[in-house]
């Protein structure tokens, strides 16, 4: 193993346990790229071989040649698949189910994988703040069409802020998530709707029990590179989209404390904060989905 694993990652990759179905980050991911071993970074699967089996875990009908090893499972019934480089547990392989022409399904735990997207100039970015960035990322990263998510800090005055300084409340930064998305698959409006539907946008002093400036609700709009998206979005800028959604919420009777700010320097957070809930095997404590739109 070349990567320090969290207790949950260790329980799956080393202890051969299984994450709960329909909870993994990559169950519905359809972006172009490759899936690597979380433990040693070996390339295991291409996105072109991923398919929707509706089983609750990422499914692939073919591995990269020589990337995985198939061994009898300890239960004596199934075939286990492990990383050929580090022997980390991935999941199980099944044959004869007829999902694809290859008639094979590699049922893999998301937590055993690291997705490496194939980036494109057409992709756009958006930055959202809705309290603790662990919970914001948990929901935003799962939207089909989101290519990459990065937790970090924006809106403050200190250069190179870190978690401790931001939590001190004196840097002016908000805990944020920078979303890289494919506008041909998901609109900025859809991202904003998920943003509003997964936190208390009426709270003025933080989010849930997390009180302080760093936990405020905000959207940092950037209209400098959105011309391609605008052509398919009625020529609306990111700023106008978010303002129209806020107006819609207010007409529905909601109080909206969300700030609309111009793009600011984004500073990525420390590695231990990235994909926090996936790595811990838990779910957000102050972010919940509530259908509004």
Is residue 279 a contact partner of residue 9, using CB atoms and an 8 Å limit? yes
Q: For tokens 């990559």, what's the residue?
A: 26
Q: What pLDDT was estimated at residue 224?
A: 81
The overall average pLDDT reported for the chain is 94
pLDDT at 231 over 70: no
Percent with pLDDT over 70 in the chain: 95
The domains located in the chain, with CATH, are: 7-117 (2.170.150.20), 124-280 (3.30.1060.10)
Residue tagged active-site, from 37, 132, 176, 286: 132
In this predicted model, what pLDDT tens digit does every residue of 36-85 receive, in sequence order? 999 999 999 999 999 999 999 999 999 999 999 999 999 999 999 999 99
pTM confidence score: 0.89
Q: What pLDDT was estimated at residue 227?
A: 45
In this predicted model, what pLDDT tens digit does every residue of 153-184 receive, in sequence order? 999 999 999 999 999 999 999 999 999 999 99
Q: What pLDDT was estimated at residue 230?
A: 44
pLDDT band, very low/low/confident/very high, at 235 (cuts 50, 70, 90): low
Would you state the torsion angle of the CA atoms of residues 9, 13, 18, 24, taken in this order, to the nearest 10 degrees? Answer: 50
Q: What pLDDT was estimated at residue 233?
A: 47
Higher pLDDT, 240 or 231: 240
Question: Taking residues 86-95, what's their average pLDDT?
Answer: 98
Q: What pLDDT was estimated at residue 2?
A: 59
pLDDT at 234 over 80: no
- Tell me the β-bridge partners of 260: 219
User: Rounded distance, CA 246 to CA 278, Å?
Assistant: 30
The torsion region of residue 8 among left (phi > 0), alpha (psi -120 to 50) and beta comes to alpha
Burial of 122 (0-12, 13-18, 19+ CB in 10 A): exposed
Q: Is 86 a catalytic residue?
A: no
Residue 43's SS3 state is: strand
In this predicted model, what pLDDT tens digit does every residue of 253-279 receive, in sequence order? 999 999 999 999 999 999 999 999 999
Question: Taking residues 79-106, what's their average pLDDT?
Answer: 97
Q: For tokens 């979380």, what's the residue?
A: 38
Residue tagged active-site, from 107, 176, 192, 286: 107
Q: What pLDDT was estimated at residue 202?
A: 98
Q: Is 132 a catalytic residue?
A: yes
Chain CA centroid to CA 71, Å: 31
Q: What pLDDT was estimated at residue 208?
A: 92
Chain CA centroid to CA 262, Å: 23
Q: What pLDDT was estimated at residue 4?
A: 84
Q: What pLDDT was estimated at residue 183?
A: 94
């Amino acid at each position: 193993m070349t990567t320090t694993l969290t207790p949950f990652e260790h329980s799956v990759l080393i202890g051969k346990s299984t994450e709960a179905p329909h909870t993994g980050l990559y169950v519905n991911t359809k972006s172009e790229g490759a899936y690597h071993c979380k433990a040693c970074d070996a390339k295991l699967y291409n996105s072109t071989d991923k398919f929707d089996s509706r089983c609750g875990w990422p499914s692939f009908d073919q591995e990269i040649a020589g990337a995985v090893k198939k061994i009898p499972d300890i239960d004596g019934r199934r075939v286990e698949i492990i990383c050929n480089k580090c022997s980390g547990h991935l999941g199980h392989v099944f044959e004869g189910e007829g999902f694809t022409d290859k008639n094979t399904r590699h049922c893999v735990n998301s937590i055993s994988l690291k997705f490496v997207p194939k980036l494109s100039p057409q992709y756009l970015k958006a930055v959202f703040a809705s309290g603790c960035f662990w919970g914001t990322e948990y929901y935003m990263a799962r939207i089909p069409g989101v290519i990459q998510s990065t937790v970090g800090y924006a809106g403050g005055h200190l250069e190179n802020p870190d978690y401790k300084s931001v939590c001190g409340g004196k840097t002016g930064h908000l805990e944020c998530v920078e979303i890289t998305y494919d506008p041909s698959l998901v609109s900025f409006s859809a991202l904003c709707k998920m943003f509003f539907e997964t936190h208390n946008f009426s709270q003025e002093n933080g989010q849930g029990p997390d009180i302080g400036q760093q936990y405020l609700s905000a959207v940092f709009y950037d209209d400098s590179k959105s011309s391609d998206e605008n052509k398919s979005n009625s020529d609306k800028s990111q700023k106008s989209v978010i303002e129209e959604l806020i107006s819609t919420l207010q007409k529905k009777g909601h109080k909206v404390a969300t700030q609309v700010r111009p793009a600011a320097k984004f500073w990525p957070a420390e590695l231990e904060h990235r994909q926090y809930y996936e790595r811990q095997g838990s779910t957000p404590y102050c972010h919940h989905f509530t259908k509004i739109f």
